[in-house]
Amino acid sequence: MKQNKTLYDSSLAVSDVAQILERIGASKHFRRAARLRGFLEYVCEETIAGRAEFINEQTVGNRVFGRPADYDPSSDNIVRVEARELRKRLEAYFADEGATDPVVVRIPKGRYAVVFEPRATTIPPVPAITSEALTLVPGDGLAGTTTQPIWFKFLVGALTTAVVALSLLSLYLYSRPESPSRMVTAAPSATPLAVAFWAKMFEPQRPTLIALPDSNLSLLQDLRSESIPPEEYTSGRYLTSLRNPAKTGESARIFASIASRHYTGLGDVSAMARLMMLNRNLSPVVVRFARDLTIRDLKSQNVIFLGSPRSNPWVAFLLKDSRFLIEHDTKLSKPVLRDRAPEVSRPSLYFSGTAGEAPYDAYGLVVSAPNLDRDGRALVVAGTGTQGTEAAGEFLANVNRLEEFLQRIGWREKNALPEFELALKSVAVGGASMPSSIVAFRAGSATSR
């Protein structure tokens, strides 16, 4: 290693560094360590931005761990403790899952600026489309439980089967010789506006984050007949409450085990796969599970949210001022699509059916809006259920239907991505959604159906 190789190597593209960090974050060493991931992301961002000399214990404590700007590091050693753990896990990652990575990330002892060290002999990296949501992660388990209800055993078995199916789907999509992105590039049905829309959503210069819904959260709320506020979920406080030692008994252990696992619905992953096929630029794509996101993840990049507010509470923050909302009717125990500004003679509520009914109505919602920092884009692909989300994803992936809609709202390729809300209706049959129809939409100040 060269002695002066202590800061960001300018020969590395920002997207390369983003891919490195995503592989690290998705590894078994960091997958369940959100605080260490935030620590690593912060020091990497500061190093890349040329502010390495300003990274010190005080600033890390303030920016990463929420300590007051004037706190005393000599009496609070959280940064030093976490830095030791971060260095240890980085070393373990690059000796294990990252053994073939072309660049090694280090944080030398006694400092917090990052070192990016190219390996002496590099091996071309595997395309970095990472998703811990598609990996079966062991939860807390049911230690000490000798018997479980039959319904719980059935539930775990069904969810495990779903995860295996999702993993196989992911493997198929990204290992076949001709990538989905190249297939879309050559598709004769791809029309100019639809192509331009996705080219602006998947930008080569920065990664696009896809946030997968937390199906366990919906299940947990259904089983407990309650609604978990978005703030409780995004802060992680609901998990702390479930793991309260004062709560004993079989039900408490089951709820805690359900909440700790990483599962998402097949319809949601199907929607994700369709959207990723539209990445004509082969831009970096990051896939994260909703529970592992932080507010910082949603500020500096384009984000695609999948799922309803009930399964992906981050959606609630973007839809708080929108015309259309997806809610859960506690009296009927059913999801509904609410129109807060219905046209004359049009309903304000659209009631969805539930699994077990055949067939039943399912509603999808597509919302295009600025991201939280308003320097990028956010796209919400939601549904009253997984079939509704799948229908919304199918609409966006159908270049002809998207082209027609973009023409209808008057969008032009030279303009920034449009702001719009689009409500769709589909019919779910056999666990899958049929082609959807437009219920109503809003584009800027325009409203129509």
pLDDT tens for each residue of 91-129: 999 888 888 887 888 898 888 888 888 765 433 443 444
Same domain, 309 and 214: yes
175 SS3 class: helix
- Mark whether 181 and 75 lie in a shared domain: no
In a domain, 8, yes or no: no
Specify the pTM. 0.57
Q: Residue 241 pLDDT > 60, yes or no? A: yes
| Kind and range of the H or E run holding 62 | helix 57-63
Residue where a domain terminates, one of 76, 102, 127 = 127
Domain assignment present for 9: no
Domain-embedded: residue 4: no
Q: Is residue 245 part of a domain?
A: yes
- Band (408; pLDDT cuts 50, 70, 90): very high
Of 95, 127, 159, the residue that ends a domain is 127
Based on the domain organization, do 349 and 376 belong to the same domain?
A: yes
pLDDT, tens digit, 9 for 90 and up, residues 299-324: 778 899 998 888 888 888 888 889 99
- Position 368 in a domain: yes
Cα–Cα distances in Å, from 314 out to 148, 236, 380, 390? 32, 12, 10, 18
Among 316, 322, 291, 318, residue whose Cα is nearest residue 302? 318
Overall number of domains in the chain: 2
Q: Provide the 10 A C-beta neighbour count for residue 346.
A: 12
Mean pLDDT computed over 367-378: 85
* Whether residue 116 is found in the same domain as residue 143: no
Q: Is the pLDDT of residue 176 over 50?
A: no
Range of the domain at 400: 134-448
pLDDT at 3: 36
Q: What is the pLDDT, as a whole number, of residue 305?
A: 92
Same-domain status, 381 and 310: yes
Do 354 and 259 lie in one domain? The reply is: yes
Same domain, 73 and 222: no
What is the predicted pLDDT for the residue at 154?
45
Of 70, 99, 127, which marks where a domain is finished?
A: 127
